[in-house]
Amino acid sequence: MAFYEEIKANNRMTFVLFVAFFLLILLLGVVSSYLLEIAYGVDGYVIVILFAIFAIVYMVVAYYNSDKIVTAISFAKPADPKKFKQLHNIVEEMAIASGLPKPKVYVINDTAINAFATGRNPEHSVVCVTTGCIQRLTRPELTAVVAHEMSHIQNSDIKVMTMAATLVGLAVLLSDFMLRFFFRGMIFGRGRGGRSRGGSSDKGGGGITIVLIIVAIALAILTPIIAQIIKMAISRKREYLADASAVQMTRYPGGLASALSKIKNDSEPLEAANKATAHLYIANPLKGQKLWMKSMFATHPPIDDRIAKLNAM
């Protein structure tokens, strides 16, 4: 495997996906302004601008408090340095190997084998593992898992995935906001009486307006779904990149391959995980879920593929 080519390919794909993400949000903003103008007879861009101000505040708060939010909803607790001495030692070793400051170390009291990293940058980062990792993995395997999570920090994946999750939340909020206000405006008679955007009231103009409304509503409904698919695609690419970077850090592909094999054979779901945080973990923590269009909505690439790539190194 060409190690650096793998990294470049993943970075290129992530960039393309983020461009698609922003274009999707931009399109939804334009659609929102159009529907709100029809429903209320006012400049829809004014309402969208007001929402944009709220969205910026929302994104800033989510970005700067991502570590606190994720650890809280995951029921993660700071790892006691004495009780979890080996874990702290491993995290410190990988911090030195990666040239990063040592992140905060957290644990989740659960026998499932899993781990995640979060935070907005290396100085405000967290590495969290389950007690199952500590109890059921060998030291080389646990080191590889920690290296994988440190790689997420080193490669700015924690920032990328925080932004992706925030953008999905923004798409959902904007879509819900727009649909609610549009239907409310039409129901209570604030609409423009079927006129086209240009003000024409003839049958042709009215027919075009109806078609545009249907298309706009469809886009508003589908946008959160498409945004979620893009977020999952970004997550899958970053997992491949973190695997490759972890091997560069530990110089031992077998450690991570062995750990992933144990995770694959572990049928126990992680109780603290949910759909909002599943993409952060080293492997899908929601075991046993049957997803519609599984390959598109999967938070992680197939473990067998990841193990095969590691064994090929």
Task: Based on the residue annotation, tell me whether 268 is a catalytic residue of this protein.
Answer: no
* Residue 230 pLDDT: 72
- pTM metric for this prediction: 0.73
Residue from 80, 107, 92 nearest 147 by CA: 92
Q: How far apart are CA 248 and CA 261, in angstroms?
A: 19
Looking at domain 77-156+234-311, its CATH architecture is 2-Layer Sandwich (3.30)
* Residue 65 pLDDT: 85
Give per-residue burial for 248-274: e unless 16+ CB within 10 Å, then b: bbbebbebbbbbbebbeebeebbebbe
* Residue 294 pLDDT: 52
pLDDT in tens, 252-262: 999 999 999 99
Q: How far apart are CA 234 and CA 80, in angstroms?
A: 33
Q: Domain map of the chain by residue range?
A: 3-67+159-228, 77-156+234-311
Q: Which residue ranges of the chain lie beneath pLDDT 70?
A: 1-11, 13-14, 17-18, 39-45, 47-48, 51, 181, 185-209, 212, 287-299
Q: How far apart are CA 177 and CA 194, in angstroms?
A: 22
Q: Which of 93, 149, 268, 271 is catalytic?
A: 149
Q: Cα-flanking dihedrals φ and ψ of residue 78, to 5°?
A: -55, 135
* Residue 194 pLDDT: 44
Residues 6+ apart with CB under 8 A from 287: 112, 266, 267, 268, 269, 270
The Cα diameter of the chain in Å comes to 78
Q: How far apart are CA 132 and CA 285, in angstroms?
A: 12
**Would you state the structure tokens that stand for residue 41, as one six-digit string?**
């007879």
* Residue 203 pLDDT: 47
* Residue 229 pLDDT: 77
Residues 6+ apart with CB under 8 A from 138: 258
Residue type, 38: I
* Residue 100 pLDDT: 92
